[in-house]
Structure 1
Amino acid sequence: MKFGGGGYVTGLIFHPSTENLLYARTDIGGAYRWNPATSSWTPITDGAGFGATESRYHGVESIAVDPNDDRLVYMATGMYTFEGNGRLYISSDRGDHWTHVGLPFPLGGNNGGRAIGERLMVDPNKPSTLFYGSRTAGLWKSTDSGLTWAQVTSLSATKMTQDQANAAGGGMGVGIVVYDTGTQGSGSATQTIYTAISPDYVSVAGLGSSLYKSTDGGASWAPVSVPVSGYHVPHMVRAEDGLFYVVFTKDAGPGAGGPGRLYKFDGSNWTLLKSVDPAGGTNFGLGGVSVHGSGATTRIALGVTNSWGNWSGQQIVQLSDDAGKTWREIEATMPGETASGWVDDVEIDPFDRDHILHVHGGGILETKNASSATPTWKGSIEGIEETATLAIVTPPAGAPYKFINSAGDVGTWVDTDLTKTPTLGPGLGWSNGNSADMAWSDSLYIAATGVINSNGAATGYWSGDGGKSWANFAALPAGAKENTSAEGNIVVTSRSHAVWAPANSVPSYTTNSGASWVATNLPALAVVGQGWNRGYRLAADRQNPNKVYAYDSGGASWSSSPGKIYVSTDGGHTFTLSAGSVSAGMAPDAWWSTSIAVNPNVEGDLWVADGNTVYHSVDSGANWTKLPDFASANGAPGASLIALGKAAPGAAYSAAIYVVGVINGVWGIHRSDDGGATWSRFNDDAHQFGGIGVMAADQNLYGRIYVSGTGRGLLYTD
């Protein structure tokens, strides 16, 4: 489905010698390549190498291109430093296919300071040589096109501990590598190299500066005297005339606070070109910088960070056409869209100085007439889908909408047209939508839950007209205020009647659209440790609204509490433990590895994916049959998601069943049209999306399902 952007693009990488070849990296949603033929972005990290056990490699920390070979591209990935060492992906066809090698240090594509860089650089004169500025382990070098790596101990042999990295938001470390050369393809390694180092690593490694220089290809390094100390260097670029333009800013970002400084550096002398200081409570910083041309007419585009809003006198993107002597604002109050705050990378198209792009928290913004007195800006997000869907539910056949999407950061949306950005939602701004449901006999009635991210306040809301208008719940149930994470959910049994299970809480029910709540008799959930949240998964019987099912998955695979089902026959007010679910031997597992679904066409027809396999009950949970097909393998859960949709024409079973899991060692989405007797794989290796987080099946069209990849928005297939 189309949303458009919806997430943080952390970097833009132009190929310096091939026109219109541009890559975008994101913090959780993989990477994209610009397609000039369609004026859209092509995802290049959906396929092999990004499966169920590889979701963390959708966090892209750095991308590098070979200036001599426009088909060769490198991508360094790893979501968080605490998850372990990252990977380097290598493509010889612009990202259509990848191979990968393990890196000997951790990466943090979604850690703080994730727009700093680029950390990975290819030597333009000897492209088999690469340098990488790591977050926690100093500077690294490869001499075999990235296949093997060695720490550059002549700079520092220090490796930060995880505690030290955590104290610095994941570690900022060595942030930038820049080659001081105007040539390429000479065959001899570039000798003069600069590397910028963040305050955390300067301190831990006992270094003397935030900038170091090598004049012997990286064999030895010497500190460079810098004009300000204790600052981050998010970007440093070299102009055609050999002058460097270097940003210093106090905070790491995203949206780094100031003070901020932009200097011109000739290898010996620093000239201050632009400064922003906290004044009047603004706390502006500086982020991205890009240059075009040389000499006195060098064009500089500079991103001002943490400057939220759009008004006369505001600074978002500053432009200079005289090498930094004078500046003018080219985005605030200009025609079209604006996107302030996280202007952490700015790029001038090397083939078109009037084409300037910058990243932000919701995607990419660009202007194609930067020289105008009033440049026009618009989003460049066609094809980029980076929303993080937390829950999805489809309505009965014939409803006036396709599904309800509960997503991180962008909130709750009722989608009526898959080809257009949705417009129906509660309008809560920067919020998480955690869960939603509708009355099956009255699909215009919707109830949803979430959290307002600006203040962390829990919220619930309902619509009686299919999402056109909304009202907040007047009250919240016990536990909702304190537990706002996504391990909670809500189900609707009929208009005004709902059951809400906040994370780590006893579910409660309402009969008056949230004006008041009453606790159910379900037992409290024991803490499983390691900070993992728990929650009851609820499912409303679509044929009998008096029946509601509650699934306790046990909380973790190592817990002593196996999965079990509770059944209510009074609309979710009171529940009884299903003894049959206990004797079935459902495995204990985490919330995100488990799922429950009801066949909407038959009363009491239940399905559970317990993280390892699938269970089926035809008598409202009294008895369960364990399916023999699914089993965990190679670190992938055997069955983590299940959804039921419109049946195949002439099928013996009344619904098509879709399971995300492993059959015969092969992970994917598997479909059955005969009630689970036989299965066929529904996706392929080219469509893995870093794993599948949520899934729902359409009730109008056989074969249509909706899935979320890791940071890849919602995708659908017929």
Structure 2
Amino acid sequence: MRRRTFAASLGAAAVAAAAVPGTAAAKTGGRCEDGYVWRNAVVNGGGYVPGIVFNETEAGLIYARTDIGGLYRWQESAQTWKPLLDWVGWDLWGYTGVVSVASDPVEPKRVYAAVGTYTNDWDPNSGAVLYSDDYGDSWGVAELPFKQGGNMPGRGMGERLAVDPSDNKVVYLGAPNGNGLWRSVDFGRTWAKVEAFPNAGNFVQDPSSDYSDDNQGVIWIDFDTAGDRIFVGVADPDDPLYASADRGATWRAVDGAAAALGRADGNRTIPKQAAVDHENGHLFVVTGWDPGPYNGAPSAGRGGSVQRLSLATGEWTDVTPGYNPIGTIPGFGGLTVDRQAPGTLMVATQNNWWPDEILYRSTDSGATWETSWDYVWDANWSWPPARTDRFDMDSTGSAWLSFGKADDGPAYAVKHGWMIDALAIDPHDSDRIMWGTGATIWGTESLTQWDAQGALVGWDSEAGHQIALPVEPFTVAVRAEGLEETAVQDIAALGGTLVSATGDLGGFVQTDLGEAGVQIRRPSWTSGRSVDFAALNRDVVVGSGDVEGDVDGHVGVSVDGGATWLTTTRLDGVAGGGNGGTVAVGADGAVIVWSPGDGATAPVFSTDLGQTWTPVEGLPAGALVRADRVDANRFYAFASGAFYASVNGGLVFAATGAAGLPASGPVDFRAVPGKRAQLWLAGGETGKTYGMWRSTDGGKRWTRVRDFAEADAVGFGKARTRHGYPTIFASAKAGSTRGIWRSTDEGRNWVRINDDAHQWAWTGKAVTGDPDVYGRVYIATNGRGLIYGDIED
């Protein structure tokens, strides 16, 4: 997931007076003074979980970090995750990219998070280390003089944060881009560079890319408690490992590390993760030919290795698994050791894209390995072979993890995963393991059944071919409940049904907000971009999204309220990829207007549910399109400061001549339900025209809403009274206060309905109310899923 954004600033001067918004004071228990209770519309996961950390001392204390969705703590009694960074506000949205987490083994109540989403200019702020003395229920912030990359390449390596178990007020941090090794000696309150540390790393994945050009720097820190040594992994194939025997005063390169960790069958590799088996005196390290998580086929050979260092003798042993069903190991991601069973460790491939990732398990310190699945070849060595597995994947509650596919030979629809960097055996329970993927967390409490299963494949000498040996599989199931990481792009609340467009997952249709609902799979959107419905016929729902291949069109249509979907014709000249654009459907459902997102193709309309498309007249490429909610003949559009209207069902548009609207920056405008030709518009750009406007004449004249210096999203819900104006919701800034605002009197008065504990970072994409439930609001976040709020009964 990648997103560029903008910093908030004061917009243009107001042109119309209105009441100054009130601000609700915060209260405990998830509600503000106005009585709002906040929840997630459930998806269960939906994004990349690059790190899972178990506390070494306190059983049941587990943290999961995400690349754009913040940090979570496991709640053992409820078997769900609790979000810990919902307090992060708009200006510091980058704090929701968590590049590392450390849980104190001496005082488990202490926890640290290294935050910052991008190291390039997409994130305007420097990174920070957050510190907590109460398990993450409250936080302090230690700002850093450099950026960190919670959503950059290499974010699954590490952990880059580590608490010294012999003196827990000392915390170490590995930094990217030449910033070296840092240390705090006061429980994370202040930080200083370890000047004695000699190597800041030099490994760059792709110097030509603004996204992949990081020097990966100092990757991880680990401790040999028996020998009282600190080990530090560095992204430098020629000098990848350092150790200190005097609590970090001096450092030396570890002998033999370059030969062991810096090369793998001709590839230059880096030490991605490490784990110490204290009982047996081993340091295990996995390497890869790039930092991940997107690495594909290796340039040559295996692309990675598993290495074991004897802490007593300094001898290195290559313990890389010698067998992969597909023949070539592309590199490794996750690594974990079993604290209750010394000598037992597991590693994960990265990325075995087809047919599946492989988990490897060894109970003899890496001397031998067993795979989580294997091929079974028939006598003719027919392709594709059959497959046999040690465990069954139970996706109950997250049926979307099949991504609409069916098993295809050895390529199962529900996979062991991909991008597996987070792999952790519970240090208090050998039977429990969790691992994170690009979409969810998997886990089991029956892991040691693996060791009783024996081999997966044998040889039938009489038949002359392989056979699957009988094993009793255990179950691996979703362990992502409560962790919500979708990046929501648009929302359509039909009343009783909620339709959302989401990044990476396409979109969802939910009739029960407590369940994940049905993923929109036809068309097969890689990312959903917009959704709309016919205001006078809610059965007609449309959406647009990015697609791959040449089969599906970018627009999807449902005529049964989202229950089933039809794809549309691919528009000539508009390729797949990120070209979903925006789509609108007329109030009666008869006309669809689609504005492709390729930046070159002018909007088109269809009167046959997207089977044929005809260019509209009068609109430039990239225009944002909406439909009137009462008059089926009226459509509207906005582009580069100009507003357009159609009065003949979207066939022809003309500029309205409106002045004073934002000429640059993201803009959102919506038509008011039940009110012909009434519109509200929010958006703009830092330092330029920025705010909220309304029109009551179809976009000819606009009045600035003085309440907000900045506004980014606006939507509508059920009126407070039977014949009243629809409730207005906005993601906006009044004075110095960013928040979610509500007006029940046509915008004359506003109240902030969220509080400082519930800000969810960036909320500028979409906000809307529910047409049937007064006060309910839906909020699109960039990584915390779809938040909704209800007035407390």
By how many angstroms is 1:146 displaced?
Answer: 2.4
Question: 1:450 matched to which residue of 2?
Answer: 545
Q: Distance in 2 between matches of 1:707 and 1:346?
A: 32
1:527-676 equivalences in 2 (<5 Å) = 535-552=622-639, 554=640, 563-579=641-657, 581-582=658-659, 585-591=660-666, 594-611=667-684, 612-631=690-709, 638-649=710-721, 653-676=724-747
Secondary structure of the residue that 2:109 maps to in structure 1? Answer: strand
8 A Cα contact 1:330 1:375, kept in partner = no
By how many angstroms is 1:624 displaced?
Answer: 1.9
Deviations 1:567-601 (A, max 9, x none): 1101111112122x21xx1233312xx21111111
Structure 1, unaligned runs of 5 or more: 183-189, 203-207, 526-534, 555-562, 632-637
Question: 1:390 matched to which residue of 2?
Answer: 489
Question: Which of 29, 43, 53 matches 2:83?
Answer: 43
8 A Cα contact 2:352 2:358, kept in partner = yes
Question: 2:13 matched to which residue of 1?
Answer: none
By how many angstroms is 1:235 displaced?
Answer: 1.2
Which residue identity is paired with 2:698?
S
By how many angstroms is 1:447 displaced?
Answer: 2.1
Alignment partner of 1:710 is 2:757: no
Question: 1:699 matched to which residue of 2?
Answer: 771
Which residue identity is paired with 2:742?
R
8 A Cα contact 1:305 1:340, kept in partner = no
By how many angstroms is 1:323 displaced?
Answer: 2.2
Question: 1:141 matched to which residue of 2?
Answer: 183
Distance 1:367 1:424, change over 3 A: closer
Secondary structure of the residue that 2:94 maps to in structure 1? Answer: helix
1:229-628 equivalences in 2 (<5 Å) = 229=262, 230-241=268-279, 242-254=281-293, 256=295, 258-267=302-311, 268-275=314-321, 282-293=328-339, 298-308=343-353, 316-330=358-372, 332=389, 334-337=391-394, 338-372=415-449, 373=453, 374-395=473-494, 397=495, 401-423=496-518, 425-427=520-522, 431-452=526-547, 459-476=554-571, 480-481=574-575, 484-485=578-579, 488-503=582-597, 504=599, 505-524=601-620, 535-552=622-639, 554=640, 563-579=641-657, 581-582=658-659, 585-591=660-666, 594-611=667-684, 612-628=690-706
Structure 2, unaligned runs of 5 or more: 1-40, 263-267, 297-301, 374-388, 395-414, 454-472, 685-689
Distance 1:710 1:484, change over 3 A: closer
Q: Distance in 2 between matches of 1:672 and 1:501?
A: 31
8 A Cα contact 1:696 1:706, kept in partner = yes
Distance 1:680 1:276, change over 3 A: farther
Q: Distance in 2 between matches of 1:113 and 1:170?
A: 9
8 A Cα contact 2:149 2:155, kept in partner = yes
Q: RMSD of the TM alignment (CA)? A: 2.6
By how many angstroms is 1:493 displaced?
Answer: 4.5
Distance 1:159 1:315, change over 3 A: closer
Secondary structure of the residue that 1:572 maps to in structure 2? Answer: coil
Which residue identity is paired with 1:626?
R
Alignment partner of 1:103 is 2:133: no
Q: Distance in 1 between matches of 2:171 and 2:244?
A: 15
Q: Distance in 1 between matches of 2:212 and 2:508?
A: 35
By how many angstroms is 1:711 displaced?
Answer: 0.2
8 A Cα contact 1:706 1:715, kept in partner = yes
By how many angstroms is 1:324 displaced?
Answer: 2.3
Distance 1:98 1:165, change over 3 A: farther
**TM (normalized to structure 1)?**
0.87
Distance 1:51 1:107, change over 3 A: same
Question: Which of 25, 28, 34 matches 2:74?
Answer: 34
Which segment is superposed worse, 141-150 or 170-179?
141-150
Which residue identity is paired with 1:131?
Y
Which residue identity is paired with 2:671?
V
Distance 1:335 1:309, change over 3 A: farther
By how many angstroms is 1:698 displaced?
Answer: 0.7
**TM (normalized to structure 2)?**
0.79
8 A Cα contact 1:64 1:75, kept in partner = yes
Distance 1:457 1:467, change over 3 A: closer
By how many angstroms is 1:669 displaced?
Answer: 0.8
By how many angstroms is 1:243 displaced?
Answer: 1.6
By how many angstroms is 1:116 displaced?
Answer: 0.1
Question: 1:677 matched to which residue of 2?
Answer: 748
Distance 1:262 1:667, change over 3 A: same
Question: 1:532 matched to which residue of 2?
Answer: none
Question: Which of 80, 97, 122 matches 1:59?
Answer: 97
Q: Distance in 2 between matches of 1:165 and 1:119?
A: 23
Question: 2:229 matched to which residue of 1?
Answer: 192
Which residue identity is paired with 1:318?
Y
Distance 1:325 1:483, change over 3 A: closer
Distance 1:484 1:690, change over 3 A: same
Q: Identity across aligned pairs (percent)?
A: 31
8 A Cα contact 2:420 2:436, kept in partner = yes
1:9-24 equivalences in 2 (<5 Å) = 9-24=49-64
Deviations 1:172-230 (A, max 9, x none): 22111112215xxxxxxx9521111124xx5xxxxx41111122222222222222422
8 A Cα contact 1:392 1:694, kept in partner = yes
Secondary structure of the residue that 2:754 maps to in structure 1? Answer: coil
8 A Cα contact 1:164 1:171, kept in partner = no
Which residue identity is paired with 1:452?
V
By how many angstroms is 1:419 displaced?
Answer: 1.2
Q: Distance in 1 between matches of 2:584 and 2:502?
A: 15
By how many angstroms is 1:315 displaced?
Answer: 5.9
8 A Cα contact 2:523 2:555, kept in partner = no
By how many angstroms is 1:442 displaced?
Answer: 2.2
Deviations 1:264-306 (A, max 9, x none): 21130112223368896754322111112488x5221221221
Distance 1:544 1:293, change over 3 A: closer
